[in-house]
């Protein structure tokens, strides 16, 4: 009995450690590689692969001129919500609490932005609230789709599902990735000159890690397979972001960010199809 308890506790600590360190590490290395590629393409001196980590340390040491201290507290609160959601997902617990923690993380950033001259999330507080109210219901639709397909919100049902979820829920998987892409674009770069932005980027790693790991379970039944799929999806979204930065794709991608009606329509179609297929 004691050996079983020790083994369970060790497994729990291992998953927590992986959730704590792997998302920032992968995110920083991929971002560093992307910046190195950009520099070489422009025939400039390439920065270090670890440049993102150096930037984090430099931001952390900056003076926060004119920024209320409690706004930094909201960033830490948001990071705590995101990290708890990621840990619960790594432990493969029920899906609804994970999505609620994810939503609380976004709300904490919006509330922190109310106390600042420049908000953290969105171009303004109202813009951040509109983005939250538009995107978060899509995550609930994804959870409903998983329930319709597997009959449960528990990840044990995904393991026992006879097919990959992406086969039955392709539009919901695409909607989940669109939400992740839009959340990346919603972070306000104008808030990037005080220490809170360093921790905001760290919190964003945990937020992205949660959504991408959830998307990874559409392509795998195991945690290891989902984590590998999440890394591949992260690289894919980085490549899409790079393509969106260049004309003529920039205007097209900006226009697509406002076409959420099509995303909801696709989610609805997928839900209706999976409901008709599996439910009497």
Q: Of 101, 225, 211, nearest to 158 (Cα)?
A: 225
pLDDT score, position 116: 66
Residue closest to 235 by CA, chosen among 215, 220, 255: 215
The first and second tokens of residue 243, run together, are 């393509």
In a domain, 43, yes or no: no
Q: Which domain holds residue 173?
A: 2-31+64-278
The confidence score (pLDDT) of residue 117 equals: 64
User: Is it true that the peptide bond before 248 is cis, omega within 30 degrees of 0?
Assistant: yes
d(CA 92, CA 94): 7
- The distance of Cα 266 from the centroid of its chain, to the nearest Å, equals 21
- What's the domain count of the chain? 1
The pLDDT value given to residue 250: 46
Q: Which pLDDT band holds residue 107 (cuts at 50, 70, 90)?
A: confident
Domain membership flag for residue 136: yes
pTM of the model: 0.87
Q: Max alpha carbon distance in the chain (Å)? A: 63
Residue 37 lies in a domain: no
- Between CA 87 and CA 81 the distance in angstroms is 10
User: In this model, does residue 80 exceed pLDDT 80?
Assistant: yes
Q: Name which of 20-24, 144-148, 209-213 the model is least confident about.
A: 20-24
Per-residue confidence at 6, pLDDT binned at 50, 70, 90?
Answer: low
Q: And the tokens for 225?
A: 């397979």
Name the strand (E) or helix (H) holding 170. helix 170-186
Q: pLDDT tens-digit profile of 164-202?
A: 999 999 999 999 998 888 877 666 454 556 667 778 888
Q: Quick: pLDDT tens for 203-260.
A: 888 999 999 999 999 999 998 999 999 999 999 988 887 776 654 444 444 555 557 8
pLDDT at residue number 4: 66
Identify the residue with better confidence: 244 or 111.
111
Identify the burial level of 119 via C-beta atoms within 10 angstroms of its C-beta, where 0-12 means exposed, 13-18 middle and 19 or more buried: buried
Give CA–CA dist 267/171, Å, rounded: 6
Q: Is residue 171 part of a domain?
A: yes
Give the number of other CB atoms < 10 A from CB of residue 216. 24
Confidence at 122, pLDDT banded by 50, 70, 90: low
Residue 17 lies in a domain: yes
203 inside domain: yes
Indicate whether 39 belongs to any domain. no
What pLDDT score does 173 carry? 94
Note whether residue 42 is domain-resident. Answer: no
Given a contact cutoff of 8 angstroms between Cβ atoms, the answer to whether 77 and 111 are in contact is no
């Amino acid at each position: 009995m004691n050996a079983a308890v020790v083994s369970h506790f060790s497994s729990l600590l291992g998953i927590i450690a992986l959730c704590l360190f792997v998302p920032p590490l992968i995110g920083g290395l991929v971002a560093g590689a992307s910046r190195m590629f950009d520099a070489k393409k422009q025939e400039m001196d390439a920065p270090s692969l670890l440049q993102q980590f150096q930037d984090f340390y430099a931001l952390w040491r900056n003076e926060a001129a004119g920024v209320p201290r409690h706004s930094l507290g909201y960033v830490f609160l948001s990071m705590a919500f995101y990290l708890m959601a990621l840990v619960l997902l790594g432990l493969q617990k029920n899906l609804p609490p994970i999505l609620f923690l994810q939503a609380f993380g976004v709300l904490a950033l919006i509330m922190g932005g109310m106390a600042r001259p420049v908000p953290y999330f969105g171009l303004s507080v109202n813009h951040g609230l509109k983005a939250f109210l538009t995107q978060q219901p899509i995550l609930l639709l994804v959870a409903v789709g998983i329930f319709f397909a597997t009959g449960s919100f528990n990840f044990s049902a995904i393991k026992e599902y006879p097919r990959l979820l992406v086969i039955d829920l392709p539009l919901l998987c695409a909607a989940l990735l669109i939400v992740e892409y839009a959340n990346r674009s919603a972070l306000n770069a104008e808030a990037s000159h005080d220490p809170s932005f360093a921790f905001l980027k760290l919190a964003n790693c945990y937020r992205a890690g949660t959504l991408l790991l959830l998307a990874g379970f559409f392509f795998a039944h195991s945690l290891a397979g989902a984590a590998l799929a999440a890394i591949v999806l992260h690289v894919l979204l980085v490549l899409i972001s790079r393509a969106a930065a260049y004309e003529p794709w920039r205007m097209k991608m900006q226009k697509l960010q406002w076409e959420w009606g099509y995303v909801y329509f696709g989610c609805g179609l997928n839900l209706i199809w999976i409901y008709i297929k599996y439910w009497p």
